[in-house]
Protein backbone atom coordinates (compact mmCIF):
# COMPACT_ATOMS: atom_id res chain seq x y z
CA UNK A 1 0.00 0.00 0.00
CA UNK A 2 2.64 2.47 1.15
CA UNK A 3 5.07 1.27 -1.50
CA UNK A 4 2.51 1.69 -4.27
CA UNK A 5 1.72 5.18 -2.97
CA UNK A 6 5.43 6.01 -3.18
CA UNK A 7 5.61 4.58 -6.68
CA UNK A 8 2.60 6.62 -7.77
CA UNK A 9 4.14 9.78 -6.35
CA UNK A 10 7.41 9.03 -8.15
CA UNK A 11 5.55 8.41 -11.44
CA UNK A 12 3.63 11.66 -11.03
CA UNK A 13 6.86 13.63 -10.47
CA UNK A 14 8.76 11.69 -13.16
CA UNK A 15 6.15 12.55 -15.80
CA UNK A 16 6.65 16.22 -15.04
CA UNK A 17 10.35 16.49 -14.14
CA UNK A 18 11.94 13.49 -15.92
CA UNK A 19 13.60 11.96 -12.87
CA UNK A 20 14.80 8.77 -14.52
CA UNK A 21 18.38 9.95 -15.24
CA UNK A 22 18.76 10.71 -11.53
CA UNK A 23 17.29 7.31 -10.64
CA UNK A 24 19.68 5.53 -13.02
CA UNK A 25 22.60 7.50 -11.58
CA UNK A 26 21.65 6.50 -8.04
CA UNK A 27 21.32 2.83 -9.02
CA UNK A 28 24.71 2.75 -10.72
CA UNK A 29 26.63 4.84 -8.18
CA UNK A 30 29.37 2.78 -6.55
CA UNK A 31 32.09 3.51 -4.01
CA UNK A 32 35.58 2.12 -4.76
CA UNK A 33 36.54 -0.74 -2.46
CA UNK A 34 40.17 -0.87 -1.25
CA UNK A 35 42.09 -0.84 2.02
CA UNK A 36 41.70 2.94 2.49
CA UNK A 37 37.94 3.05 1.79
CA UNK A 38 37.30 4.02 5.42
CA UNK A 39 38.77 7.45 4.64
CA UNK A 40 35.66 8.28 2.61
CA UNK A 41 33.69 8.43 5.86
CA UNK A 42 35.12 11.74 7.15
CA UNK A 43 33.56 13.95 4.48
CA UNK A 44 30.11 12.57 5.27
CA UNK A 45 30.72 13.07 8.99
CA UNK A 46 31.61 16.73 8.36
CA UNK A 47 28.36 17.15 6.44
CA UNK A 48 26.45 15.49 9.28
CA UNK A 49 27.85 17.92 11.86
CA UNK A 50 27.15 20.84 9.52
CA UNK A 51 23.48 19.84 9.40
CA UNK A 52 23.41 19.60 13.21
CA UNK A 53 24.87 23.13 13.30
CA UNK A 54 22.13 24.48 11.05
CA UNK A 55 19.35 22.86 13.10
CA UNK A 56 20.67 23.82 16.56
CA UNK A 57 21.74 27.26 15.32
CA UNK A 58 18.19 28.05 14.18
CA UNK A 59 16.88 26.96 17.59
CA UNK A 60 19.37 29.19 19.45
CA UNK A 61 18.24 32.14 17.30
CA UNK A 62 14.84 31.99 19.01
CA UNK A 63 16.32 33.29 22.28
CA UNK A 64 19.74 34.81 21.57
CA UNK A 65 20.10 38.62 21.68
CA UNK A 66 23.09 40.05 19.78
CA UNK A 67 23.94 43.16 21.84
CA UNK A 68 26.72 43.77 24.34
CA UNK A 69 24.17 44.48 27.06
CA UNK A 70 21.97 41.41 26.50
CA UNK A 71 24.09 38.70 24.84
CA UNK A 72 25.64 37.10 27.92
CA UNK A 73 22.36 37.22 29.82
CA UNK A 74 20.44 35.68 26.90
CA UNK A 75 22.88 32.74 26.70
CA UNK A 76 22.59 32.32 30.48
CA UNK A 77 18.82 32.35 30.02
CA UNK A 78 19.03 29.70 27.30
CA UNK A 79 21.20 27.49 29.50
CA UNK A 80 19.34 27.85 32.77
CA UNK A 81 15.70 28.71 32.00
CA UNK A 82 14.76 27.38 28.58
CA UNK A 83 13.76 23.70 28.52
CA UNK A 84 16.66 21.68 27.08
CA UNK A 85 18.42 24.98 26.40
CA UNK A 86 21.64 23.63 27.95
CA UNK A 87 21.44 20.66 25.60
CA UNK A 88 20.84 22.67 22.43
CA UNK A 89 23.68 25.08 23.22
CA UNK A 90 26.03 22.26 24.18
CA UNK A 91 25.19 20.37 20.99
CA UNK A 92 25.91 23.51 18.96
CA UNK A 93 29.30 24.10 20.61
CA UNK A 94 30.42 20.48 20.62
CA UNK A 95 29.20 19.82 17.10
CA UNK A 96 31.12 22.91 15.93
CA UNK A 97 34.32 21.44 17.32
CA UNK A 98 33.61 17.96 15.99
CA UNK A 99 32.82 19.46 12.58
CA UNK A 100 36.22 21.17 12.45
CA UNK A 101 37.88 17.95 13.62
CA UNK A 102 36.06 15.85 10.98
CA UNK A 103 36.90 18.42 8.29
CA UNK A 104 40.59 18.35 9.29
CA UNK A 105 40.68 14.54 9.19
CA UNK A 106 38.87 14.58 5.85
CA UNK A 107 41.36 17.09 4.49
CA UNK A 108 44.36 15.14 5.79
CA UNK A 109 43.18 11.91 4.12
CA UNK A 110 42.45 13.76 0.87
CA UNK A 111 45.93 15.31 1.05
CA UNK A 112 47.80 12.08 1.70
CA UNK A 113 45.78 10.10 -0.88
CA UNK A 114 46.46 12.87 -3.45
CA UNK A 115 42.73 13.07 -4.16
CA UNK A 116 43.14 16.76 -5.14
CA UNK A 117 44.84 15.79 -8.41
CA UNK A 118 43.28 16.40 -11.79
CA UNK A 119 40.31 16.42 -12.37
CA UNK A 120 39.48 17.17 -8.71
CA UNK A 121 41.32 20.48 -8.18
CA UNK A 122 38.08 22.47 -7.89
CA UNK A 123 36.77 20.05 -5.26
CA UNK A 124 39.95 20.67 -3.26
CA UNK A 125 39.71 24.45 -3.59
CA UNK A 126 36.05 24.48 -2.57
CA UNK A 127 36.89 22.22 0.38
CA UNK A 128 39.78 24.47 1.41
CA UNK A 129 37.49 27.51 1.33
CA UNK A 130 34.91 25.54 3.33
CA UNK A 131 37.53 24.85 6.01
CA UNK A 132 38.34 28.58 6.14
CA UNK A 133 34.60 29.30 6.42
CA UNK A 134 34.37 26.75 9.24
CA UNK A 135 37.14 28.64 11.06
CA UNK A 136 35.25 31.86 10.38
CA UNK A 137 32.15 30.26 11.88
CA UNK A 138 34.20 29.19 14.90
CA UNK A 139 35.82 32.60 15.36
CA UNK A 140 32.60 34.61 14.96
CA UNK A 141 30.49 32.18 16.99
CA UNK A 142 33.02 32.16 19.82
CA UNK A 143 32.35 35.85 20.51
CA UNK A 144 28.56 35.58 20.61
CA UNK A 145 28.19 34.60 24.32
CA UNK A 146 30.19 37.81 25.07
CA UNK A 147 32.33 36.25 27.76
CA UNK A 148 35.80 37.22 28.95
CA UNK A 149 37.72 34.59 26.94
CA UNK A 150 35.81 35.39 23.76
CA UNK A 151 36.35 39.12 24.21
CA UNK A 152 40.15 38.82 24.36
CA UNK A 153 40.28 36.10 21.67
CA UNK A 154 38.48 38.56 19.39
CA UNK A 155 40.79 41.43 20.37
CA UNK A 156 43.83 39.29 19.48
CA UNK A 157 42.34 37.74 16.32
CA UNK A 158 41.16 41.02 14.83
CA UNK A 159 44.44 42.70 15.77
CA UNK A 160 46.21 40.02 13.71
CA UNK A 161 43.98 40.90 10.75
CA UNK A 162 45.06 44.51 11.33
CA UNK A 163 48.71 43.52 10.74
CA UNK A 164 48.08 42.56 7.11
CA UNK A 165 50.03 44.97 4.89
CA UNK A 166 48.10 47.75 3.10
CA UNK A 167 44.52 46.55 3.83
CA UNK A 168 45.10 45.76 7.53
CA UNK A 169 43.58 48.95 8.88
CA UNK A 170 40.50 48.52 6.68
CA UNK A 171 40.11 44.87 7.72
CA UNK A 172 40.43 45.70 11.40
CA UNK A 173 37.81 48.44 11.34
CA UNK A 174 35.56 46.41 9.09
CA UNK A 175 35.68 43.43 11.44
CA UNK A 176 35.40 45.41 14.67
CA UNK A 177 32.94 47.99 13.46
CA UNK A 178 35.25 50.65 14.89
CA UNK A 179 38.61 51.04 16.58
CA UNK A 180 37.95 48.65 19.46
CA UNK A 181 36.06 45.44 20.12
CA UNK A 182 32.66 46.69 21.32
CA UNK A 183 28.96 45.89 20.98
CA UNK A 184 29.32 46.97 17.34
CA UNK A 185 31.74 44.05 16.83
CA UNK A 186 29.28 41.63 18.40
CA UNK A 187 26.44 42.75 16.12
CA UNK A 188 28.68 42.38 13.05
CA UNK A 189 29.96 38.96 14.06
CA UNK A 190 26.37 37.87 14.61
CA UNK A 191 25.52 38.97 11.07
CA UNK A 192 28.51 37.08 9.64
CA UNK A 193 27.72 34.02 11.73
CA UNK A 194 24.03 33.64 10.92
CA UNK A 195 23.71 35.16 7.43
CA UNK A 196 26.89 35.71 5.41
CA UNK A 197 28.82 32.56 6.32
CA UNK A 198 25.83 30.16 6.14
CA UNK A 199 24.90 31.44 2.69
CA UNK A 200 28.45 30.99 1.39
CA UNK A 201 28.91 27.64 3.11
CA UNK A 202 25.64 26.21 1.80
CA UNK A 203 26.46 27.19 -1.78
CA UNK A 204 29.97 25.72 -1.51
CA UNK A 205 28.79 22.50 0.14
CA UNK A 206 26.35 22.01 -2.75
CA UNK A 207 29.13 22.57 -5.29
CA UNK A 208 31.53 20.31 -3.36
CA UNK A 209 29.07 17.40 -3.14
CA UNK A 210 27.87 17.81 -6.74
CA UNK A 211 31.47 17.77 -8.00
CA UNK A 212 32.02 14.49 -6.14
CA UNK A 213 28.88 13.00 -7.75
CA UNK A 214 30.07 14.13 -11.17
CA UNK A 215 33.60 12.71 -10.81
CA UNK A 216 33.13 9.76 -8.48
CA UNK A 217 35.40 8.97 -5.54
CA UNK A 218 39.13 9.32 -6.04
CA UNK A 219 41.19 6.15 -5.78
CA UNK A 220 44.73 6.53 -4.37
CA UNK A 221 47.52 5.68 -6.84
CA UNK A 222 48.70 2.74 -4.75
CA UNK A 223 45.23 1.17 -4.81
CA UNK A 224 44.47 1.62 -8.51
CA UNK A 225 45.10 -2.06 -9.34
CA UNK A 226 43.13 -3.50 -6.44
CA UNK A 227 40.29 -1.15 -7.17
CA UNK A 228 40.23 -1.93 -10.90
CA UNK A 229 39.66 -5.63 -10.19
CA UNK A 230 36.82 -4.83 -7.82
CA UNK A 231 33.47 -3.42 -9.02
CA UNK A 232 33.19 -1.47 -5.74
CA UNK A 233 30.34 -1.23 -3.31
CA UNK A 234 26.93 -0.11 -4.62
CA UNK A 235 26.03 3.23 -3.01
CA UNK A 236 22.36 2.26 -2.59
CA UNK A 237 21.74 0.53 -0.31
CA UNK A 238 25.09 -0.92 0.84
CA UNK A 239 27.26 2.16 1.28
CA UNK A 240 24.31 4.35 2.24
CA UNK A 241 23.48 2.08 5.17
CA UNK A 242 27.12 2.05 6.29
CA UNK A 243 27.17 5.84 6.09
CA UNK A 244 24.02 5.98 8.23
CA UNK A 245 25.76 3.71 10.75
CA UNK A 246 28.69 6.14 10.76
CA UNK A 247 26.33 9.06 11.36
CA UNK A 248 24.72 7.15 14.23
CA UNK A 249 28.18 6.75 15.80
CA UNK A 250 28.90 10.47 15.24
CA UNK A 251 25.58 11.34 16.88
CA UNK A 252 26.36 9.05 19.83
CA UNK A 253 29.75 10.74 20.39
CA UNK A 254 28.15 14.19 20.10
CA UNK A 255 25.30 13.35 22.48
CA UNK A 256 27.68 11.84 25.03
CA UNK A 257 30.02 14.86 24.98
CA UNK A 258 27.15 17.38 25.09
CA UNK A 259 25.37 15.79 28.03
CA UNK A 260 28.41 14.68 30.05
CA UNK A 261 30.48 17.82 29.48
CA UNK A 262 28.01 20.71 28.92
CA UNK A 263 29.70 23.73 27.36
CA UNK A 264 30.67 26.42 29.87
CA UNK A 265 29.18 29.89 29.97
CA UNK A 266 32.26 31.66 31.36
CA UNK A 267 32.43 35.11 32.94
CA UNK A 268 30.76 38.10 31.28
CA UNK A 269 33.18 40.24 29.25
CA UNK A 270 34.42 43.44 30.92
CA UNK A 271 36.35 45.71 28.53
CA UNK A 272 38.12 47.23 31.55
CA UNK A 273 39.44 44.03 33.11
CA UNK A 274 42.88 42.59 32.38
CA UNK A 275 43.14 39.47 30.24
CA UNK A 276 42.70 36.49 32.60
CA UNK A 277 45.68 34.21 33.30
CA UNK A 278 45.60 30.92 31.37
CA UNK A 279 43.67 32.43 28.45
CA UNK A 280 43.65 30.19 25.34
CA UNK A 281 41.87 30.15 22.00
CA UNK A 282 39.90 27.19 20.63
CA UNK A 283 42.07 24.10 20.10
CA UNK A 284 42.23 24.51 16.33
CA UNK A 285 43.87 27.92 16.69
CA UNK A 286 46.09 26.79 19.57
CA UNK A 287 49.17 25.84 17.51
CA UNK A 288 49.33 29.35 16.03
CA UNK A 289 48.75 30.93 19.44
CA UNK A 290 51.52 28.86 21.03
CA UNK A 291 53.96 29.61 18.21
CA UNK A 292 53.34 33.36 18.62
CA UNK A 293 54.22 33.00 22.30
CA UNK A 294 57.68 31.62 21.46
CA UNK A 295 58.59 34.23 18.86
CA UNK A 296 60.95 36.93 20.15
CA UNK A 297 59.98 40.61 20.03
CA UNK A 298 62.05 41.20 16.90
CA UNK A 299 63.41 38.85 14.23
CA UNK A 300 66.04 40.41 11.95
CA UNK A 301 64.75 43.88 12.76
CA UNK A 302 61.09 43.06 12.09
CA UNK A 303 58.41 42.64 14.77
CA UNK A 304 58.33 38.95 15.72
CA UNK A 305 54.60 38.43 15.33
CA UNK A 306 54.71 39.91 11.82
CA UNK A 307 57.29 37.30 10.81
CA UNK A 308 55.16 34.58 12.41
CA UNK A 309 51.95 35.73 10.74
CA UNK A 310 53.74 36.00 7.39
CA UNK A 311 55.07 32.44 7.76
CA UNK A 312 51.59 31.14 8.61
CA UNK A 313 50.18 33.02 5.64
CA UNK A 314 52.77 31.45 3.36
CA UNK A 315 52.12 27.95 4.73
CA UNK A 316 48.38 28.50 4.32
CA UNK A 317 48.84 29.58 0.71
CA UNK A 318 51.03 26.52 -0.01
CA UNK A 319 48.35 24.28 1.49
CA UNK A 320 45.59 25.97 -0.52
CA UNK A 321 47.45 25.76 -3.84
CA UNK A 322 48.79 22.25 -3.35
CA UNK A 323 47.18 21.03 -6.64
CA UNK A 324 49.45 23.52 -8.44
CA UNK A 325 52.55 22.63 -6.42
CA UNK A 326 52.16 18.89 -6.93
CA UNK A 327 53.55 18.86 -10.48
CA UNK A 328 53.95 15.09 -10.66
CA UNK A 329 50.21 14.58 -10.82
CA UNK A 330 50.06 14.76 -14.59
CA UNK A 331 52.42 11.80 -14.77
CA UNK A 332 50.49 9.90 -12.12
CA UNK A 333 53.67 9.48 -10.06
CA UNK A 334 53.89 9.53 -6.29
CA UNK A 335 55.20 12.76 -4.75
CA UNK A 336 57.02 11.66 -1.59
CA UNK A 337 58.36 15.12 -0.68
CA UNK A 338 54.79 16.37 -0.31
CA UNK A 339 54.04 13.50 2.05
CA UNK A 340 57.13 14.40 4.09
CA UNK A 341 56.11 18.08 4.20
CA UNK A 342 52.59 17.10 5.24
CA UNK A 343 53.84 14.81 8.01
CA UNK A 344 56.25 17.51 9.26
CA UNK A 345 53.43 20.08 9.29
CA UNK A 346 51.21 17.68 11.25
CA UNK A 347 54.01 16.98 13.76
CA UNK A 348 54.60 20.73 14.18
CA UNK A 349 50.89 21.44 14.72
CA UNK A 350 50.47 18.50 17.10
CA UNK A 351 53.54 19.50 19.15
CA UNK A 352 52.50 23.14 19.43
CA UNK A 353 48.92 22.18 20.32
CA UNK A 354 50.17 19.83 23.03
CA UNK A 355 52.53 22.50 24.39
CA UNK A 356 49.59 24.90 24.41
CA UNK A 357 47.80 22.58 26.81
CA UNK A 358 50.66 21.57 29.11
CA UNK A 359 52.70 24.81 29.36
CA UNK A 360 51.46 27.43 31.83
CA UNK B 1 29.13 52.95 -45.41
CA UNK B 2 32.84 52.21 -45.02
CA UNK B 3 34.09 49.47 -42.68
CA UNK B 4 36.07 52.06 -40.76
CA UNK B 5 33.00 54.11 -40.09
CA UNK B 6 31.04 51.04 -38.92
CA UNK B 7 33.86 50.18 -36.51
CA UNK B 8 33.69 53.71 -35.21
CA UNK B 9 29.98 53.35 -34.47
CA UNK B 10 30.42 49.90 -32.92
CA UNK B 11 33.21 51.25 -30.75
CA UNK B 12 31.03 54.12 -29.65
CA UNK B 13 28.14 51.80 -28.72
CA UNK B 14 30.51 49.47 -26.82
CA UNK B 15 31.96 52.42 -24.97
CA UNK B 16 28.58 53.80 -23.95
CA UNK B 17 27.12 50.43 -22.95
CA UNK B 18 30.28 49.15 -21.30
CA UNK B 19 30.86 52.44 -19.55
CA UNK B 20 27.26 52.45 -18.40
CA UNK B 21 27.53 48.94 -16.96
CA UNK B 22 30.81 49.70 -15.19
CA UNK B 23 29.46 53.01 -13.94
CA UNK B 24 26.36 51.28 -12.57
CA UNK B 25 28.45 48.63 -10.82
CA UNK B 26 30.66 51.26 -9.22
CA UNK B 27 27.59 53.17 -8.07
CA UNK B 28 26.26 49.97 -6.44
CA UNK B 29 29.51 48.87 -4.82
CA UNK B 30 30.72 52.25 -3.55
CA UNK B 31 27.82 52.92 -1.14
CA UNK B 32 28.08 49.33 0.14
CA UNK B 33 31.80 49.72 0.85
CA UNK B 34 31.18 53.04 2.57
CA UNK B 35 28.28 51.54 4.53
CA UNK B 36 30.29 48.66 6.02
CA UNK B 37 32.90 51.05 7.44
CA UNK B 38 31.60 52.53 10.70
CA UNK B 39 31.27 56.33 10.89
CA UNK B 40 33.97 58.08 12.92
CA UNK B 41 32.65 58.74 16.40
CA UNK B 42 33.67 62.09 17.77
CA UNK B 43 35.71 60.88 20.73
CA UNK B 44 35.83 63.08 23.74
CA UNK B 45 39.58 62.66 24.15
CA UNK B 46 40.08 63.06 27.83
CA UNK B 47 43.54 64.45 28.31
CA UNK B 48 43.45 63.62 31.98
CA UNK B 49 41.33 61.47 34.28
CA UNK B 50 41.12 60.69 37.98
CA UNK B 51 42.53 57.15 38.09
CA UNK B 52 42.30 56.46 41.82
CA UNK B 53 42.27 58.02 45.27
CA UNK B 54 45.47 58.66 47.15
CA UNK B 55 46.26 55.66 49.34
CA UNK B 56 44.01 53.33 47.34
CA UNK B 57 46.97 51.36 45.98
CA UNK B 58 49.37 49.56 48.27
CA UNK B 59 53.02 49.41 47.12
CA UNK B 60 53.65 46.60 44.60
CA UNK B 61 50.12 46.60 43.14
CA UNK B 62 48.21 47.85 40.13
CA UNK B 63 44.78 48.98 38.99
CA UNK B 64 43.04 49.26 35.62
CA UNK B 65 41.31 52.60 35.07
CA UNK B 66 39.24 54.01 32.21
CA UNK B 67 41.18 56.46 30.07
CA UNK B 68 38.55 57.55 27.58
CA UNK B 69 37.46 54.34 25.93
CA UNK B 70 40.77 52.58 26.54
CA UNK B 71 41.98 50.84 29.67
CA UNK B 72 44.97 52.37 31.45
CA UNK B 73 47.13 50.77 34.12
CA UNK B 74 48.11 52.61 37.29
CA UNK B 75 50.80 50.91 39.37
CA UNK B 76 52.63 51.52 42.60
CA UNK B 77 56.18 50.15 42.35
CA UNK B 78 57.59 48.13 45.23
CA UNK B 79 59.41 51.30 46.32
CA UNK B 80 56.06 53.14 46.46
CA UNK B 81 56.32 55.27 43.29
CA UNK B 82 53.13 55.87 41.29
CA UNK B 83 53.30 55.29 37.51
CA UNK B 84 50.67 55.03 34.78
CA UNK B 85 50.73 53.36 31.35
CA UNK B 86 48.48 52.58 28.44
CA UNK B 87 46.80 49.31 29.47
CA UNK B 88 46.90 47.67 26.05
CA UNK B 89 49.72 45.28 25.22
CA UNK B 90 51.85 46.35 22.25
CA UNK B 91 51.86 42.77 20.95
CA UNK B 92 48.31 41.78 20.03
CA UNK B 93 45.97 44.13 21.85
CA UNK B 94 45.19 42.30 25.11
CA UNK B 95 44.82 44.19 28.40
CA UNK B 96 47.87 43.91 30.65
CA UNK B 97 47.90 43.57 34.46
CA UNK B 98 50.29 44.15 37.34
CA UNK B 99 51.61 40.88 38.79
CA UNK B 100 52.38 41.31 42.47
CA UNK B 101 54.33 38.01 42.50
CA UNK B 102 56.58 39.11 39.61
CA UNK B 103 56.77 42.72 40.77
CA UNK B 104 56.19 43.92 37.21
CA UNK B 105 53.61 44.23 34.40
CA UNK B 106 52.45 41.10 32.56
CA UNK B 107 50.16 40.22 29.66
CA UNK B 108 48.31 36.91 30.02
CA UNK B 109 47.56 36.36 26.34
CA UNK B 110 51.03 35.54 25.05
CA UNK B 111 53.13 35.76 28.22
CA UNK B 112 54.59 39.21 27.60
CA UNK B 113 56.53 40.94 30.41
CA UNK B 114 57.21 44.65 30.99
CA UNK B 115 59.24 46.10 33.84
CA UNK B 116 57.86 48.81 36.13
CA UNK B 117 59.10 51.49 33.73
CA UNK B 118 56.91 50.00 30.98
CA UNK B 119 59.82 48.54 29.01
CA UNK B 120 59.21 45.21 27.24
CA UNK B 121 61.68 42.83 28.88
CA UNK B 122 60.58 39.34 27.87
CA UNK B 123 58.16 37.52 25.57
CA UNK B 124 56.75 38.76 22.28
CA UNK B 125 55.82 42.45 22.91
CA UNK B 126 57.74 44.56 20.38
CA UNK B 127 57.54 47.98 22.07
CA UNK B 128 57.30 49.54 25.56
CA UNK B 129 53.92 50.62 26.91
CA UNK B 130 53.06 54.29 26.41
CA UNK B 131 53.72 56.14 29.65
CA UNK B 132 51.35 58.72 31.12
CA UNK B 133 52.03 61.49 33.61
CA UNK B 134 50.81 60.99 37.16
CA UNK B 135 50.06 63.90 39.45
CA UNK B 136 48.31 64.32 42.77
CA UNK B 137 45.50 66.88 43.11
CA UNK B 138 44.20 66.92 46.61
CA UNK B 139 42.83 63.44 47.26
CA UNK B 140 42.90 62.36 43.62
CA UNK B 141 45.57 60.61 41.59
CA UNK B 142 45.31 62.27 38.18
CA UNK B 143 46.71 60.63 35.06
CA UNK B 144 47.31 62.71 31.94
CA UNK B 145 48.60 62.11 28.47
CA UNK B 146 51.98 63.62 27.73
CA UNK B 147 51.55 66.07 24.91
Domain-located, residue A172: yes
Domain count, chain A: 2
CATH number at residue A55: 1.20.810.10
Residues of chain A that touch chain B, judged by Cβ-Cβ distance less than 8 Å: 152, 155-156, 158-160, 170, 173-174, 177-180, 184, 271-279, 289, 292-293, 295-298, 303-305
pLDDT at residue B6, as a whole number: 65
Cβ contacts (< 8 Å) between B94 and chain A: which residues? 152, 155-156, 275, 279
Q: Is A20 left (phi over 0), alpha (psi -120 to 50) or beta?
A: alpha
Across the interface, whether the CB atoms of B92 and A271 are under 8 A apart is answered no
Going by pLDDT thresholds of 50, 70 and 90, the confidence category of residue B45 is low
Cα distance between residue B12 and residue B7, in whole Å: 8
> Closest partner residue to A174 among B36, B94, B108, by Cβ?
B36
Beta bridge pairs of residue B85: B73, B131
Average pLDDT estimate for B38-66: 85
Domain-located, residue A21: no
- Pair (A115, A252) in one structural domain: yes
**A325: number of Cβ within 10 Å:** 15
Going by pLDDT thresholds of 50, 70 and 90, the confidence category of residue B42 is low
Domain-located, residue A266: yes
- Pair (A137, A95) in one structural domain: yes
- Pair (A267, A344) in one structural domain: no
Average pLDDT estimate for B94-123: 94
CA distance A113 to chain B (A): 37
- Pair (A332, A239) in one structural domain: no
Q: Is the peptide bond between A253 and the residue preceding it cis, with omega within 30 degrees of 0?
A: no
pLDDT at residue A304, as a whole number: 85
- Pair (A323, A254) in one structural domain: no
Which secondary-structure segment (H or E) carries B83?
strand B82-86
B97 touches A: beta carbon within 8 Å: yes
pLDDT at residue B3, as a whole number: 62
Handedness of CA B95, B100, B105, B108 (dihedral sign): negative
pLDDT at residue A225, as a whole number: 80
- Pair (A243, A161) in one structural domain: yes
- Contacts for B51 with CB less than 8 Å, ≥ 6 apart: B63, B65, B67, B72, B74, B84, B134, B141, B142, B143
Chain A interface, best mutation among B40, B94, B109, B127, by max A CB count within 10 A: B109
Across the interface, whether the CB atoms of A156 and B120 are under 8 A apart is answered no
| pLDDT at B76 exceeding the cut of 90 | yes
Cα distance between residue B30 and residue B7, in whole Å: 33
pLDDT at residue B73, as a whole number: 95
* Residues of chain A under the 50 pLDDT cut: none
Domain-located, residue A297: yes
Give the range of the structural domain holding residue A316, as residue numbers without chain letter. 280-360
A70 to A63, A101, A252: CA distances (angstroms) = 11, 31, 33
More confident residue, A223 or B1: A223
pLDDT at residue A118, as a whole number: 86
pLDDT at residue A360, as a whole number: 67
pLDDT at residue B7, as a whole number: 74
Domain-located, residue A14: no
- Pair (A40, A145) in one structural domain: yes
Residue A10 φ/ψ, nearest 5 degrees:
-60, -45
Chain A interface, best mutation among B38, B101, B102, B120, by max A CB count within 10 A: B38
pLDDT at residue A278, as a whole number: 81
Cα distance between residue B110 and residue A152, in whole Å: 11
Residue B66 φ/ψ, nearest 5 degrees:
-85, 120
Nearest CA in chain A to B108: A277
Q: What is the pTM of this model?
A: 0.89
- Pair (A243, A311) in one structural domain: no
Alpha helices in chain B (DSSP H): 3-36
Across the interface, whether the CB atoms of B92 and A272 are under 8 A apart is answered no
Nearest CA in chain B to A277: B108
Domain-located, residue A227: no
Which secondary-structure segment (H or E) carries A55?
helix A41-61
| pLDDT at B4 exceeding the cut of 80 | no
- Pair (A244, A188) in one structural domain: yes
pLDDT at residue B2, as a whole number: 61
| pLDDT at B147 exceeding the cut of 70 | no
Domain-located, residue A133: yes
- Pair (A263, A140) in one structural domain: yes
Question: How much is the ipTM here?
Answer: 0.78
Q: What is the mean pLDDT of chain B?
A: 89
The model's pLDDT over A317-332, given as tens digits with 9 standing for 90+, comes to 999 999 998 877 666 6
Cα distance between residue A58 and residue B118, in whole Å: 48
Domain-located, residue A22: no
- Pair (A108, A243) in one structural domain: yes
Chain B interface, best mutation among A156, A182, A275, by max B CB count within 10 A: A275
Cα distance between residue A219 and residue A161, in whole Å: 39
- Pair (A83, A47) in one structural domain: yes
Q: How is A254-319 classified by DSSP, letter by letter?
A: HHHHHHHSPPP---B--TTSPPPTT----HHHHHHHHHHHHS-SEETTEEHHHHHHHHHHHHHHHH
Tell me the Cα Rg of chain A.
Answer: 23
Average pLDDT estimate for B106-123: 93
B113 touches A: beta carbon within 8 Å: no
Amino acid sequence: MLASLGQRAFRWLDERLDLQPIQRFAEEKAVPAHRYSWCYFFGGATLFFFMIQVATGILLLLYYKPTAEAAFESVRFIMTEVSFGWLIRSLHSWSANLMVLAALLHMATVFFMRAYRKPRELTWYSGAILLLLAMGFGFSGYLLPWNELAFFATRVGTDMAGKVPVVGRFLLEFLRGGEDVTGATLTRFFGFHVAVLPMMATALVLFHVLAIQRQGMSVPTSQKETSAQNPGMPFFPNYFLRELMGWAIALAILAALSSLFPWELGVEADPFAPAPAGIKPEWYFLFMFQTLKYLPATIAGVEGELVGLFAFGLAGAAWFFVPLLDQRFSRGEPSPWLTIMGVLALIFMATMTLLGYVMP
Amino acid sequence: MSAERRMGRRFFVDLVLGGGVIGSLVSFVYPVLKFVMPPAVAEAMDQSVVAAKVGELAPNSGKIFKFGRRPGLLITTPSGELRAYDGICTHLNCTVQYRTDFGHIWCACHNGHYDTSGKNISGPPPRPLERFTVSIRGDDIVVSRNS
